[in-house]
Amino acid sequence: MSFKINDNEVDIVIAALRPDLTIFLEEWRPIFSRFHLIIVKEPDLEADLQIPHGFDHHVYTKSDIERVVGASLIDFSGHSCRYFGYLMSSKKYVISIDEDCLPARNAAGHPIDAVAQHINNLETPATPFYFNTLYDPFREGADFVRGYPFSLRDGVGCVLSSGLWLNVADYDAPTRAVRPNERNARYVDAVMTVPLQSMMPLSGINIGFDREILGPALVPALRLKGEGKQRLETMGDIWCGMCAKTVSDHLRLGVKTGLPYVWRNGSGNAWESLRREWGGVKLMEEIVPFSSR
C-alpha cells in the first residue's frame, strides 16, 4: 500500500511572523528548493518580507485574506495565518514548518531532510489498530513483530505526520517558565502511529498532512483571549489536532508521530505568555474528555 509522492504534489506553507526570512530559507534551501512555497505574511506585520532569490513561491498578505474570506469569523492573525496557506494551496500534500526552526543535523553534521521524512511518513501506511513494539514496521530494517495479526498488516493511509523538535521543545508557558534552560537533546529514531482513540497534542510547528483528505479539519477555530504572536500562547494547533485525530479515527485513517526533527530556536517570554495561555490550559481540561468520547 506504499506509493510515491511527487514533488509537484507538495506545497510547503510558511507563516511569516517576522519579515526577514533570509536565514530561515537559506538554511532550508537544499531541502525546500525543489518545492513550491506558500508564504503567508502575518496580517499585522507591516514591514516587507525579505525572501532570497531562487524559490518558487507565492506570498499571501492581509489583502488576500480579506479578499478571500472577507468578514468571516475566522481570525488568521498570528500563527493562524498559515491556515490561510492551507486553504489556498491546491496541492494534495502540505508541509509546514515554523520560521524559527532550522534543519536539525545528524551525527555527521549533515542537515536532516525533514520534508523527505514527512513525505515518507505520508507515503507509507499507518497502523492505528494494534501497537507494533518495533514502531513503524514500514521503515527499513523493521517489520511487524510476533503476535501482530496478519489481517492488520496492510495498515491504512497516513493523513498526518507530526514531527518533533530538538533544542527548544514545544512546552507550554508554565513548563517553560519553571524550566527555562531545559533543552531537548534526545534524538529518538522512531516514527510510530498514534493508536486509534488515543488523543495527542498536535504541535503545528513541524507537520505534514494530506490536504485533500484532512485539510478541512485544520481550521484555526480555537483562539485564546488576548492571544499574541508567541507559540507559547496558542492552542489553535492543539485544537486542530484533536479534531483531526477524531476525524481520522472515524474514517479509519492514520496519524504518525516522531521523526522528523527540526532544530527549534523558539522565542517568547514564558511569564508573559502564561497570562494569555492559562485560559487555554483550563480549556484543555474540558476539551480532552469531550474529544475522548
Site of interaction with another protein (CB under 8 A): 130-135, 139, 141-152, 162, 164, 169-172, 174-175, 179, 182-190, 194-203, 231-232, 235, 237-238, 241, 257, 281, 284-285, 288-289, 292-293
In terms of CB distance, is 132 or 248 closer to another protein?
A: 132
Task: Specify the residue, 65 or 214, whose C-beta has the smaller distance to another protein.
Answer: 214
User: Please, what is the minimum distance in Å from the beta carbon of residue 12 to another protein?
Assistant: 22
Nearer to another protein (CB atom), residue 90 or residue 151: 151
Closest distance of CB 245 from another protein, Å: 9
User: Minimum CB separation from another protein for residue 188, in Å?
Assistant: 4
Q: What is the 8-class DSSP label of residue 233?
A: G
CB of 2 to another protein, least distance (A): 17
Closest to another protein by CB, 3 vs 150, is 150
Rounded to a whole number of angstroms, the minimum distance from the CB of residue 228 to another protein is 15
